[in-house]
Each structure stands twice: as structure tokens, then as C-alpha cells.
Structure 1
Amino acid sequence: MTFSLNTCRKWSRVVHRDLSFFFSGMLIIYAVSGIVMNHRDTINPHFSIERKEYTLTPLPTPAKEIGREEVMTILQPLGEAGNYTKHYAPKAGQLKVFLKGGSNLQVDTDTGAAVYESVKRRTVLSAMTRLHYNPGQWWTLFADTFAVGLILITLSGIVMLKGKKGIGGRGGWEFAAGIALPLLFLLFF
């Protein structure tokens, strides 16, 4: 069997197609979590945090003397009574209640102003983002295999097309632009 440019193109199509299908799921996961990681100042990938303000009737008991039963009464309308962990009064007239999962409630016992902060884990997005932090030795092996796969997909894509659409024509210009753009950002921004 002789090796020719046509044989190389034929095998590059096979490699390109099969590796593209194999790694496409991982590519989507990395792309979505990468976007979220780039915007961590506006999107928390691990938790969804919501703040709600309420007005309760002012509590007659001083904050430092409020017991668990009174706190449960306050939590009942929020549906959080079963998530109570502890409470304390950081200063006179203020009550802070801690709930399972990181949620909390702060109450001004004099005015009845309350702020409920609900914290919920983003299960899927958090797990996807965790992959960027290299969670273990097996993941390192897979990530390295993924990187090699991307290199093979790229190289097979470069040699797959011939003529004015391939690396000798429009494809070459696009390839050069794809290298130049990140270099410009590295050098000038």
C-alpha cells in the first residue's frame, strides 16, 4: 500500500469525524462552563443566591432573649422551619438565623424588617465548572487525552480539504487569523 495525499485526506476525514463525535460532549461541557467561569463576577457557578425582604411584626422579646420556638414561628411562613440550625443576636435589636445549606435570615427585631437570603447549589453547572479545577488523577489523564484529541481533530481538519477551500486557500487565511487574534490579545491587551 502506497501512502498518498489522497489516502491522508481519506484517513483525516475518518479521524476528524470519529474524534469530533467522541469529544463533542466534553467540548460542549468545557465551553459552557468556560463561559460561566469567564463571567464569575455576575454568575456564581456553584450557588444561586436570592435575597428577599420582608416586614414582620416587631418582636416584643429582646433579640438576645429570643428562643428557638420563636425563631421557628418566624421561619414557618418561609417554609424553612425544618432547616433551622442555630441563631444568635449579633447586637441589640438584631437577630441572625442560620439555615441548612447556607441560607440565612436577618431580622431587625425593633422594626420587623427582615432579609431572607436563599442559597441553593447549582448541581449541574457546579459539577461542570469543577472540571476546570482538575479534580483528580483520572481527570488529568482524560483531560490530556482530550487535549491530544483536539490537536488531532485540528490537524485532520487542516489536511482534509484541498484546493481553494483548504489550507492552501481560504482555510489557510482563517488558520492564520485564528493564530494571530489570540497573539494580538496577548501582546497588546
Structure 2
Amino acid sequence: MISKRELSLKMREYHRYLGFFLAGIMAVYSISGIVLIFRDSDFLKIKTIETKTIAANLSTTEIAKPLGLRNLKVDKEENGTYYFKGGNYNSKTGEAEYTKAELPSILKNMTNFHKAKSGDPLFFMNIFFGASLLFFVISSFYMFLPKTSIFRKGMYFAAAGIVLTVILLFV
């Protein structure tokens, strides 16, 4: 049977090498997580003017989907032209001109990786990464022997972190 000391040393070793192995993906997740916080703004986004011809005579509620614009709200209508934030749509010709704001390619790929769903080809990588983070949580409690002062101080910080997490979950 493995002793507590040997288990602690093994957990430290696994923690260390898994941490080195996942350093790149942790950087991707941290950067994309920060960028996703600002997804409702134009922070870091590149604006381009798009011109697109869609079906004519669409109602104000029907023009958002073919343009790929969420939360489109028509501000005014004038002579068959609908004006909305960042663009317009001519209901007679079907021509729309609007400003589109997108993240640069690398940041877009990072955020798409961060938001992966079960239907995405690499979803198993997200599961592996999530499981690895859970291992980091558990293995961090094996980094120091329970009788040491560092471990006791760590328990205070862990308790404070858990309390903060519970508070944030219910706010």
C-alpha cells in the first residue's frame, strides 16, 4: 500500500507534468475567457461594411436572420428603407448595407474553441481539459503534508475561495 508521503509526491509529480503539458491550452482558455466577457461590445473587434442582397419585401422581424445579425431592432422606416443600428435595408430591392464587427481570426478561433458543444469535432478536448482542471483542484490538496503550516494556511484560502464561489453563484 502506498504511504501518504508517496501519494503526495506522486500527486505533485502528476500535477507538475500535466501543468506543463496543458500550459498552452490554459493560455488559450484564459485569453478567450477574458475576450468572451466583452462579447456584447465591440472591444477588439474589426469593423467592416457589408453589402448583401437578400429577399425583397421582408418585414422588420424577418431581416435579421438572413443578415446574420442578432437583436436587430429597426429604428425607423423611410420610403421602404428600414434603418437599424449600423445599417439599413431597402425592402424594394432587398439590398442591405450594414457594419459588421468580428474578432480577428485567431481570437475568433480561440473563442469558438472555448464555446465548443458536443457536436463539434474536438469536443473531447474540452472534456479532457475540464477533467484536467478538476485533477488540478484535487491534486493541489496533496502538494503539502497536512501537518505543515503551509497546508493549514492553504485550507484557509481554500475555504475563503469556496465561500466566495458560493456567494457568486447566488448573486
Q: TM-score, normalised by structure 1?
A: 0.58
CA drift at 1:132: 2.6
Structure 2 residue aligned with 1:39:
38
Q: Relative to structure 1, is the Cα distance of residues 137 and 171 closer, same or farther in structure 2, using a 3 angstrom cutoff?
A: same
Q: Relative to structure 1, is the Cα distance of residues 34 and 121 closer, same or farther in structure 2, using a 3 angstrom cutoff?
A: closer
Structure 2 residue aligned with 1:182:
165
Separation (CA, whole Å) in 1 of partners of 2:103 and 2:35: 15
Task: Map 1:74-89 to 2 at 5 A.
Answer: none
Q: Is the 8 A contact 2:42 2:101 kept in 1?
A: no
Structure 2 residue aligned with 1:146:
129
**Alignment pair present for 1:170 and 2:153:** yes
What is the number of residues matched between the two proteins? 134
Give per-residue Cα distances to partners, 1:41-67, cap 9 Å, x unaligned.
33456x41279xxxxxxxxxxxxxxxx
| Aligned residue type for 2:40 | D
Q: Relative to structure 1, is the Cα distance of residues 43 and 36 closer, same or farther in structure 2, using a 3 angstrom cutoff?
A: farther
Task: Map 1:27-176 to 2 at 5 A.
Answer: 27-43=26-42, 47-49=45-47, 122-134=104-116, 136-162=119-145, 163-166=148-151, 169-176=152-159
Provide the secondary structure at the position in 1 that maps to 2:124: helix
Separation (CA, whole Å) in 2 of partners of 1:138 and 1:118: 27
Q: Is the 8 A contact 1:37 1:129 kept in 2?
A: yes
Q: Is the 8 A contact 1:36 1:43 kept in 2?
A: no
Q: Which 10-residue stretch deviates more, 173-182 or 136-145? A: 136-145
Structure 2 residue aligned with 1:54:
none
Structure 1 residue aligned with 2:58:
none
Which one has a larger percent helix, Structure 1 or Structure 2? Answer: 1
Q: Relative to structure 1, is the Cα distance of residues 34 and 4 closer, same or farther in structure 2, using a 3 angstrom cutoff?
A: same
Q: TM-score, normalised by structure 2?
A: 0.63
**Alignment pair present for 1:11 and 2:10:** yes
Q: Is the 8 A contact 1:15 1:152 kept in 2?
A: no
Structure 2 residue aligned with 1:69:
none
Question: Larger Rg: 1 or 2?
Answer: 1
CA drift at 1:85: 7.9
Give per-residue Cα distances to partners, 1:114-172, cap 9 Å, x unaligned.
xx968665100000011133154442211111111111122111111121111xx1110
Identity of aligned residues (%): 25
Give per-residue Cα distances to partners, 1:21-48, cap 9 Å, x unaligned.
1112111111111111112233456x41
